[in-house]
């Protein structure tokens, strides 16, 4: 749409001066039409009426008459000028070579490696990976980054538990605390096995003070970069992290780089950051020697406006290491994007201000609201969770039922493969299609829905197009596409395809992957309508033009699926 606005503005400028409108305030009044039947762009003419001393309707028709467009036509309808792009102009917008758009490092997920992935954490991963994919599809050079929290309390508790509790003790504690210690179908995965130790230690903490003191000691040593403790931490969490990454990999979510938090203690950069902050005008020191920045003058409000970055004992805090981490990330990429839960909003703002004090550019951030269960918040510690591994298994099982019904002659192996693709895609799409700032209440029925505004609908359209291609063969090289002859659903489909790059870029810029998901669904609907009205293969054989259009749509659906993490399969 932006390309079209850019193409229309000069001609519209001429028309405005012809009819006598002064200024250029009309430039950002040009908006997208609400109804496609009214064209692509619309210009409301109420404000011109006064200037031209005529009615809005009259202003609209004068402007429409004066407007000479080479990309389409303009018609006055009531007080609006509606502009419709020609099909030939639109089809020239299709399949443009993507230009290189520079590098971006997207940090997402970065969950504490203390237990299996649950559906709350999944929103970060799905959203983050969707951003990664959309940026790649649009021509950015993307690094997908996972920040490994390899020190601090969570990992400390896990390590302490593994070193101090045996199997019997763990199960006794869990039984007593009302947390299920049943063997899950995934108990061979270390994230599922070890989370029980983590949960048990959290329960024991309430009744036995030696847990806290033990953990605190470990954490302190880790913050002093004690190599022995960091190694013990790593052997505690790495198998858990591997299990989590296995789950993510199953969902098609992979990372290019992992950075450990401890790195910034070990290499001394945190210490340097803390020293630099002392020269900030915001710097202050508490009674016991702790250092902070006073952020009140920066507009931070609340009970406390102090941002502590050094404890009384001289050690750093998580947020301090985050500063060093961002400094490091800027050496890796032109742009930085973080995907964070809304609980990190204040923290992120504080870090942004502190970075600014250090002369380091703050990252861009996307926040998302929480996913909660119908009966409350999710918590790994308390065992009130739905694990992703279980959700994915269930999604696959449900999809398998459907696939088996519609494709009884396929091999069991093939059926499972299709069901897995459908289950994964549906699960991801059900998260990605919701606006990030909106809260989600997890319900099995919604999460597993295979109908409606769903991934399988899009996948089915793709499979259908693939099937047609298999029967019709490739487009004849001699065929020349003439979009001007198209009408109805075929024209609507071309129109939809023409906006793909625009929709993708807009979704990236406005950080609304859900809008691109909606575009993709709409494309699938348009393809189904085209399919209904136009035969690629009929009694006379293959219709070259319809095959050409079908293939164009197929390619775009495939690209769209890859950009949102739907697995495009050729048969389902």
Q: Scan residues 28-87 and list those touching RNA (CB under 7 A).
A: 28-29, 31, 33-35, 38, 42, 44, 46-47, 77-78, 80, 82
- When binding is defined by CB under 7 A, the residue of 177, 512, 544, 562 that contacts RNA is 512
Tell me if 161 sits within 8 A of 200, measured CB to CB.
yes
Distances (CA, A) of 272 to 42, 104, 230, 353: 56, 26, 21, 17
Q: In whole angstroms, how close is the CB of 376 to RNA at the nearest point? A: 8
- Quick one: how far is CA 356 from the chain centroid? 26
- When binding is defined by CB under 7 A, the residue of 317, 337, 339, 448 that contacts RNA is 317
Please, which residue, 192 or 291, has the CB nearer to RNA?
A: 291
Binding segment for RNA among 98-106, 241-249, 364-372, 559-567 (CB under 7 A)? 364-372
| 528 is a contact residue toward RNA (CB under 7 A) | yes
- When binding is defined by CB under 7 A, the residue of 257, 278, 406, 484 that contacts RNA is 406
- Residue 72's φ and ψ, nearest 5 degrees, are 170, -155
Distances (CA, A) of 122 to 127, 386, 565: 8, 11, 13
Q: In whole angstroms, how close is the CB of 546 to RNA at the nearest point? A: 7
Q: In whole angstroms, how close is the CB of 188 to RNA at the nearest point? A: 27
User: Which residues neighbour 111 within 8 Å (Cβ) at sequence distance 6 or greater?
Assistant: 117, 121, 124, 125, 244
Diameter of the chain measured on Cα atoms? 90
Binding segment for RNA among 11-19, 150-158, 171-179, 244-252 (CB under 7 A)? 150-158
- Quick one: how far is CA 337 from the chain centroid? 11
Q: In whole angstroms, how close is the CB of 92 to RNA at the nearest point? A: 24
Distances (CA, A) of 209 to 165, 166, 175, 223, 450: 15, 18, 20, 21, 50
Beta bridge partners of 280: none
| 515 is a contact residue toward RNA (CB under 7 A) | yes
Restricted to residues 228-247, the positions that interact with RNA (CB under 7 A) are none
Q: In whole angstroms, how close is the CB of 223 to RNA at the nearest point? A: 7
Binding marks (x or -) toward RNA, 444..483, rule CB under 7 A? --x---xxxx--xx--x--xx-xxx--xx-----------
Q: In whole angstroms, how close is the CB of 308 to RNA at the nearest point? A: 4
Restricted to residues 82-141, the positions that interact with RNA (CB under 7 A) are 82, 112
- When binding is defined by CB under 7 A, the residue of 99, 207, 279, 288 that contacts RNA is 288
Binding segment for RNA among 91-99, 124-132, 168-176, 315-323 (CB under 7 A)? 315-323
Beta bridge partners of 373: 376, 442
Size of the site for RNA (CB under 7 A): 98
Beta bridge partners of 292: 284, 308
User: Which residues neighbour 348 within 8 Å (Cβ) at sequence distance 6 or greater?
Assistant: 338, 340, 365, 367
Interatomic CA distance for residues 83 and 153, integer angstroms? 60
Please, which residue, 38 or 181, has the CB nearer to RNA?
A: 38
- When binding is defined by CB under 7 A, the residue of 326, 514, 554, 556 that contacts RNA is 514
Binding segment for RNA among 93-101, 168-176, 338-346, 480-488 (CB under 7 A)? 338-346
Restricted to residues 413-442, the positions that interact with RNA (CB under 7 A) are 418, 422, 433-435, 437-440
Interatomic CA distance for residues 335 and 65, integer angstroms? 46
Binding segment for RNA among 16-24, 173-181, 187-195, 368-376 (CB under 7 A)? 368-376
Closest CA to 342 of 107, 111, 124: 124
| 369 is a contact residue toward RNA (CB under 7 A) | yes
- Token look-up 């070193």 returns 163
| 570 is a contact residue toward RNA (CB under 7 A) | yes
N- to C-terminal Cα distance for the chain? Answer: 34
| 411 is a contact residue toward RNA (CB under 7 A) | no
């Amino acid at each position: 749409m932006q390309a079209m606005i850019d193409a229309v503005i000069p001609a519209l400028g001429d028309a405005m001066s012809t009819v006598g409108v002064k200024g250029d305030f009309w430039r950002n009044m040009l908006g997208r039409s609400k109804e496609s039947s009214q064209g692509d762009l619309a210009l409301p003419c109420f404000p011109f009426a006064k200037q031209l001393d005529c009615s809005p309707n009259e202003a609209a028709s004068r402007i429409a008459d004066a407007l000479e467009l080479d990309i389409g036509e303009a018609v006055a309808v009531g007080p609006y000028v509606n502009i419709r792009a020609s099909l030939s102009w639109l089809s020239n917008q299709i399949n443009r070579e993507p230009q290189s758009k520079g590098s971006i490092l997207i940090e997402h997920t970065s969950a504490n490696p203390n237990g299996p992935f649950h559906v709350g954490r999944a929103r970060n991963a799905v959203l983050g990976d969707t951003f990664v994919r959309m940026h790649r599809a649009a021509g950015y050079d993307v690094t997908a980054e996972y920040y490994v929290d390899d020190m601090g309390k969570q990992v400390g508790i896990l390590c302490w538990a593994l070193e101090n509790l045996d199997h019997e003790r763990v199960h006794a504690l869990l039984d007593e605390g009302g947390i299920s210690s049943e063997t899950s179908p995934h108990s061979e995965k270390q994230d599922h096995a070890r989370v029980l130790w983590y949960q048990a230690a959290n329960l024991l903490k309430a009744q036995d003070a030696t847990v806290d003191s033990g953990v605190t000691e470990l954490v302190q040593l880790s913050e002093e970069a004690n190599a022995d403790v960091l190694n013990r931490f790593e052997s505690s969490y790495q198998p858990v992290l591997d299990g989590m990454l296995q789950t993510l990999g199953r969902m098609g979510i992979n990372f290019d780089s992992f950075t450990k938090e401890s790195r910034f203690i070990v290499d001394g950069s945190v210490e340097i950051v803390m020293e630099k902050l002392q020269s900030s005008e915001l710097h202050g020191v508490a009674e016991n020697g702790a250092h902070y920045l006073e952020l009140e003058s920066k507009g931070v409000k609340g009970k406390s406006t102090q941002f502590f970055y050094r404890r009384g004992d001289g050690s750093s805090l998580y947020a301090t290491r985050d500063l060093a981490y961002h400094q490091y990330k800027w050496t890796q990429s032109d742009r930085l994007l973080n995907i964070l839960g809304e609980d990190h909003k204040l923290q992120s703002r504080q870090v942004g201000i502190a970075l600014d004090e250090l002369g380091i550019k703050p990252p861009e951030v996307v926040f998302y609201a929480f996913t909660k269960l119908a009966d409350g918040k999710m918590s790994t510690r308390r065992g009130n969770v739905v694990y992703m591994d279980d959700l994915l298994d269930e999604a696959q099982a449900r999809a398998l039922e459907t696939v088996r019904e519609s494709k009884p002659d396929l091999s069991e192996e093939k059926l499972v493969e299709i069901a897995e693709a459908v289950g994964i895609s549906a699960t991801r799409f059900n998260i990605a299609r919701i606006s990030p700032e909106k809260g989600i209440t997890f319900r099995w029925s919604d999460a597993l829905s295979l109908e409606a505004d769903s991934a399988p609908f899009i996948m089915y359209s793709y499979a259908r197009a693939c099937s047609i291609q298999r029967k019709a063969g490739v487009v004849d090289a001699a065929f020349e596409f003439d979009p001007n002859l198209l009408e109805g659903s075929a024209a609507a489909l071309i129109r939809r395809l023409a906006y793909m790059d625009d929709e993708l870029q807009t979704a990236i810029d406005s950080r609304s992957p859900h809008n691109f998901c909606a575009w993709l669904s709409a494309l699938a609907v348009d393809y189904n309508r085209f399919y209904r009205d136009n035969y690629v293969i009929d009694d006379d054989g293959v219709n070259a033009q319809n095959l050409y259009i079908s293939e164009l749509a197929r390619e775009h659906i495939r690209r769209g699926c890859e950009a949102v993490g739907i697995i495009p399969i050729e048969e389902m």
